Copies of this chain bind each other. A is one copy, B any other.
Amino acid sequence: MHIEILTIGDELLDGLTVDGNAARLGRMLDPVGLRLSRRTSVRDRIPDIVAAMTEIASRAEVCIVSGGLGPTSDDLTVDALAVAAGVPLFEDPEVWARIVARFDGRAPTANNRRQARVPEGGRALQSEIGTAPGIELTLGQCTFFLLPGVPREFQWHLDAHVLPLLRERIGERLPPRSRILRFVGIGESAIGARIERLALPPELAVAYRVRDLDIEVRVRGADPDAVADAATRIAAAGEETFVGEGDVSLVELVLEACRRNGLTLATAESCTGGLVGSLLTAVPGASDVFRGGIIAYANAVKTQVLGVPPLVLESHGAVSEACAAAMASGARRVLGADVAVAVTGIAGPAGGTPEKPVGTVCLAWSGGGLDRVTTVLLRGDRDRIRLLSASRALDGIRRGLARTGAGA
């Protein structure tokens, strides 16, 4: 099946946004055995959008269009599709009713009314998130899906509307010919070296991607059995850095493991400044596990709120295993949690010394049988060091609860 994507927006071509929706679509197609043939991006100009749509309609079977469905005057995708199809626009009363309902008594603007328009022959794809509906319309041999460019709305529509149609068209689901494995607490080149030593069959392709909290390894090939066998061997090669397959999330694994063990959780953060807490609470339902945290950025907060002995700061410094351990036990006590994790380190760019260079991070876990303290040297810029610190903090809970065996 020939599938293309058309992304629309000046911001994409002016370099203000890196377009992630094409990548999102590419990754979604892979597990069902499909591939994206071409990507096109054009500006917010009707003639440009119409030209691209007309060209794509002449060669593709499915085209996903991202962006330009918002309420403002530079949102022209629906108008362009109507021009390309040579049909008028009408207002869909059901879509309009949903927009009005969403405004909950306040008055939608004339601009919002634009979002209720659908080209003749097309149908609105209702959204459960965001105000913009998607639109489906077939032009010649090509089915166009117009989707909002906001990444989470785009993803929602892909799952709800596009994937079911693709599945239906290709008949039953093809056997997976790629597998995604996730690793935490190991670098890209280190996991790469371990996988090279496996000497996998040369017809299998292995690709790597560094994500916020894990390293993603994708293995792909024509033979599903060979892929499955390779996936098993790759997972084993990762030892305890292997966290799971596919959509598995480190944060959800941690929350589930705590839940299963009846443990509540607290955080004490210095260099991550609330990032660990923010990651935990991004998951709905975290409240049955996570009690809260202390962001102890200033040393006075470490001593006065968390009870870190001033002598520890004087003799070992704030970035030390002794300080991390005291922060963790303090957080557990102050926040009344079963388990606490503490992070203190030097995220840079300033603050490094020869003994404690930028990237030095001390981590401690307290309670629940997880008592441990460690120091790691992480590489990258400030954002990367903070993310890696958070990832290590969370992974220590995952590994600790796996080791106690209580989670099984």
Contact = CB atoms under 8 A, between A and B. Distances in A.
A74 B111 contact: no
B269 A274 contact: yes
Contacts of A220: 10
Interface in A289-306: 290-298, 300-301, 304-305
A111 B15 contact: no
A38 B6 CA distance: 11
A18 B16 contact: no
Interface string A39-73: 11111100010001001000000000000001111
Contact of A13 (B37, B104, B273, B286): B37
Most buried by B among A206, A207, A290, A382: A207
A315 interface: no
A218 interface: yes
Interface string A257-300: 00000000001010111111110111011110011111111101
Given A71-B192, A205-B10, A43 B48 contact: no
A403 interface: no
A14 B35 contact: yes
B290 A281 contact: no
Interface residues of A, number: 112
Interface in A177-216: 178, 180, 188-190, 192-193, 196, 205-210, 216
A109 interface: yes
Interface string A318-355: 00000000000000001110000000000011100000
A104 B129 CA distance: 59
A74 B208 contact: yes
Nearest to A130: B380
A390 to B, nearest CB: 9
A36 interface: yes
A284 B380 contact: no
A13 B18 contact: no
Interface stretch (A24-32, A86-94, A138-146, A227-235): A24-32
Nearest to A52: B38
Contact of A189 (B37, B42, B111): B111
Nearest to A41: B39
Contacts of A384: 152
5 contacts: A17-B23, A39-B42, A111-B189, A152-B381, A277-B277
Given A104-B377, A129-B381, A292-B298, 20 more contacts: A9-B209, A13-B26, A15-B22, A15-B25, A16-B180, A38-B52, A39-B40, A71-B188, A74-B205, A74-B207, A109-B189, A109-B192, A111-B196, A150-B210, A274-B274, A274-B276, A282-B382, A284-B348, A290-B298, A305-B335
